[in-house]
């Protein structure tokens, strides 16, 4: 029987994996993952993502071995590795699920041309999103730039098909050639080993993703709309890293959520999948959003260089408890509650006037769910330079926001234990605790009122410099 190669990318699962299903139907398969750190346009993973990748590949290999197969590991450019692998295994077809960042799209195009020229057939699939970026367009056949009409257009399309089951069996070719070992890739930190909190928090892999979805649907989904902004409790799905690595598909989540209930809570949860789709759509049509302002007028924005303030923000010692709690949660677990992400991003870009790209790079390195679309799109949204961006005058007050989403201070006390003894009326403003209360906690690095005024002046200056433009917001 003919041998096929199934190229795993950000789709590290067996169920609802169209590329795997197609290869398995055809005959023996060679499942391969390629660590490509050489191809121009492909962004190298950050430290937290590398940790997760190690765990996820380990889980995928174990799953494949239960089916009598195994995961082949190779390092290098896919354009070189895949043709060589096809020759080694006498494979006549290669299957993969599509990616939509510019580097991946261009790489796939080169691969298809190269492999076809060598007599190897290729086929790619929609495996990681509900809709293709080219499926959702405005009436003028243009990409959407605002989320609400985008999502309305998505909901008007036929619903996503049911998820595919995992193949019932997998057949491997007879020859078993040598390949890389996962340990040789050195994805795990060791000097120092900073991943203890990640290990305590997460169970990477397809089984972990399935369990996390089930736990969410059985518990927090019914309260999701009302409680999702509260960072202290288990109010969100925390599926984002599993989605980022494709350990679960959005189709699986979509249909499981609809089967679990209906109403406003489910619709709100599905709309969060919609924002992921919107971000992918923007990335596909706009190119490199991690470096380039979506709104070019922001190229003239007067960002400040302040390495001390940036470091204080990164280390969670700005003197604003909700900011510091979020940044410490991020460092410890590789994740941060979405509402808190918005607050810390607003603080960096508007209170400190530090370029959003510095924050995006830090999140890229420290988030286990770092995603080439979501990460820059969300940062640009908060900074005001992105699509459907937050209005420039929306500058979060970190104290008022903290009181709103963490009224009792439970979240702050968890991540800033030096404030644990403070009462509710001062836990978010420890500088008001009085001289009789000794708190080993930094004073605020900026006065929010003054910083807000400075930010508004900068935004107004940008508008005056471009009188022919509409508001940056």
Joined together, the tokens standing for residue 302 give 């007067």
Q: Side-chain half-sphere of 75: how many Cα atoms within 13 Å?
A: 10
Name the phi and psi angles at 124, rounded to 5. Answer: -115, 160
* C-alpha of 223 from chain center: 23
Asked about 356 being catalytic, the answer comes back as yes
The DSSP secondary structure of 119-144, one letter per residue, reads T-EEEEE--S-SS-TTT---TTS---
Q: Side-chain half-sphere of 119: how many Cα atoms within 13 Å?
A: 4
Joined together, the tokens standing for residue 99 give 């990616």
Cα–Cα distance measured from residue 387 to residue 390, given in angstroms and rounded to the nearest whole number? 9
Cα–Cα distance measured from residue 334 to residue 237, given in angstroms and rounded to the nearest whole number? 15
Joined together, the tokens standing for residue 259 give 């089967």
Cα–Cα distance measured from residue 228 to residue 265, given in angstroms and rounded to the nearest whole number? 10
Judge whether 45 and 23 are in contact, CB under 8 Å.
no
Cα–Cα distance measured from residue 145 to residue 282, given in angstroms and rounded to the nearest whole number? 8
Give, as one character, the DSSP assignment of residue 304: B
- Edge-first strand order for the sheet with 72-75 is 72-75, 29-35, 3-8, 91-97, 121-125
R_g of the chain, CA atoms, integer Å:
24
Judge whether 4 and 91 are in contact, CB under 8 Å.
yes
Cα–Cα distance measured from residue 456 to residue 452, given in angstroms and rounded to the nearest whole number? 6
Which residue is catalytic, options 275, 313, 335, 381? 275
Q: Is 106 helix (H, G, I), strand (E, B) or coil?
A: helix
Which residue is catalytic, options 88, 135, 227, 272? 272
Residue whose pair of structure tokens reads 């309305």 in the numeric block: 152
Asked about 303 being catalytic, the answer comes back as yes
Asked about 313 being catalytic, the answer comes back as no
Which residue is catalytic, options 52, 356, 364, 381? 356
Distances (CA, A) of 407 to 56, 397, 399, 424: 37, 14, 10, 7
Which residue is catalytic, options 202, 379, 381, 415? 379
Choose among 408, 383, 411, 385: nearest CA to 396.
Answer: 383
Which residue is catalytic, options 79, 194, 297, 338? 338
Asked about 96 being catalytic, the answer comes back as no
> What is the crossing angle of helices 321-333 and 338-346, to 10°?
120
Residue whose pair of structure tokens reads 């350990």 in the numeric block: 247
Q: Where are the beta strands (DSSP E) in 166-323?
A: none
The residues assigned a catalytic role are 272, 275, 303, 338, 356, 379
């Amino acid at each position: 029987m003919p041998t096929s190669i199934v190229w795993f990318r950000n789709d590290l699962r067996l169920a609802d994996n169209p590329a795997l299903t197609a290869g398995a139907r055809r005959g023996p398969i060679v499942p391969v993952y390629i660590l490509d750190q050489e191809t121009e346009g492909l962004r190298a993973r950050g430290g937290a993502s590398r940790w997760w990748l190690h765990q996820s590949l380990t889980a995928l290999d174990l799953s494949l071995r239960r089916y009598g197969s195994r995961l082949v590991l190779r390092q290098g450019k896919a354009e070189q590795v895949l043709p060589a692998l096809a020759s080694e295994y006498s494979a006549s077809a290669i299957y993969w699920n599509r990616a939509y960042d510019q580097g991946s799209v261009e790489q796939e195009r080169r691969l298809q041309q190269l492999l076809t020229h060598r007599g190897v057939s290729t086929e790619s699939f929609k495996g990681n999103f509900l809709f293709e970026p080219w499926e959702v367009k405005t009436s003028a056949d243009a990409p959407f730039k605002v989320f609400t009409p985008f999502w309305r257009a998505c909901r008007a399309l036929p619903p996503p098909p049911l998820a595919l089951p995992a193949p019932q069996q997998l057949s491997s070719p007879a020859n078993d050639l040598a390949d890389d070992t996962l340990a040789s890739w050195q994805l795990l930190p060791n000097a120092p080993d900073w991943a203890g909190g990640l290990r305590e928090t997460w169970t990477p892999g397809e089984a972990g993703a399935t369990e996390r979805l089930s736990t969410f649907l059985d518990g927090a989904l019914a309260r999701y709309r009302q409680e999702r902004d509260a960072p202290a409790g288990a109010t969100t799905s925390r599926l984002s890293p599993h989605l980022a690595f494709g350990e679960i598909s959005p189709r699986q989540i979509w249909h499981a959520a609809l089967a679990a209930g209906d109403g406003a809570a489910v619709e709100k949860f599905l709309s969060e999948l919609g924002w992921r789709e919107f971000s992918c759509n923007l990335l596909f049509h706009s190119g490199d959003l991690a470096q380039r302002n979506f709104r070019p007028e922001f190229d003239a924005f007067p960002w400040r260089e302040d390495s001390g303030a940036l470091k204080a923000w990164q280390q969670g010692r700005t003197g604003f408890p909700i900011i510091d709690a979020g940044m410490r949660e991020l460092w410890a677990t590789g994740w941060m509650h979405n509402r808190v992400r918005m607050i810390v991003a607003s603080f960096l870009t508007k209170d400190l006037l530090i370029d959003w790209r510095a924050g995006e790079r830090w999140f890229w390195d420290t988030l286990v769910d770092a995603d080439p679309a979501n990460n820059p799109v969300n940062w640009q949204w908060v900074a005001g330079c992105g699509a459907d961006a937050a209005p420039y005058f929306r500058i979060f007050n970190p104290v008022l926001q903290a009181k709103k989403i963490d009224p009792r201070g439970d979240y702050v006390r968890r991540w800033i234990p030096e404030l644990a003894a403070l009462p509710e009326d001062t836990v978010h403003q420890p500088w008001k605790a009085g001289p009789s209360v000794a708190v080993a906690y930094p004073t605020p690095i900026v006065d929010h009122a003054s910083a807000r005024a400075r930010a508004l002046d900068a935004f107004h200056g940008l508008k005056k410099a471009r009188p022919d433009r509409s508001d940056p917001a």
